[in-house]
Amino acid sequence: MANIGPFLFPSKGFDAAIFDCDGTLVDSMPAHFEAWCDALALYGAGGIFKEDVFFAMGGRPTLDIVVELNDEYDLRLDPAAVALAKREFFLKRLDRVTLIEEVAEFAESLRGKMPMAIATGGSRFVIEKTLKIVGISDWFDEVVTADDVVHGKPAPDIFLKAAKLLGVEPSKCLALEDAPAGIIAAQSAGMQVIAIPCPLAASVR
């Protein structure tokens, strides 16, 4: 398990907990970054994605990121093709993904005590495989992904849908997030937010 150091979680004041996945609940960001680099290199755009840019865009849907890279670097990458390649390169590294210990322990402590959901900018296919490989597929009542909403993070849609599915008012939900886009999304949804430091991100900030 990855470790984020001493971290305090609230014990009351919320009726449901909603967790981001990558970088919050699981230590998958190094594998995602390498997958992005491989996918972009495959389509002739290697070297443009630096770690600081990667973390700044964390939490956003893959297609949205490719569109922004096209705009920023005057590229003509096919978002769907790059997204598919990135997914396949990540899945090859799935065995390197581990739980982030403190967050996983907090989630486990809430099991059976209140509703819990995943709200992620990732695709359902990848997130379900990620949760399965770290052994927590059955921890959550709902899993909401970028496939389930029109507008991904930083729009609040994913968090609002998770709250609705859990049957809890957004203001009564505690959201745990590591990425700027996700934090903005949860705050815009009116939730209480805990910003989780990502193990790798700390080294590039």
Active site amino acids: 20
> How many Å apart are CA 79 and CA 96, to the nearest integer?
26
CA R_g for the chain: 16
On the CB side of 105, how many CA atoms lie within 13 Å of its CA? 12
DSSP codes, 73-129: HT----HHHHHHHHHHHHHTTGGG-EEBHHHHHHHHHHTTTS-EEEE-SS-HHHHHH
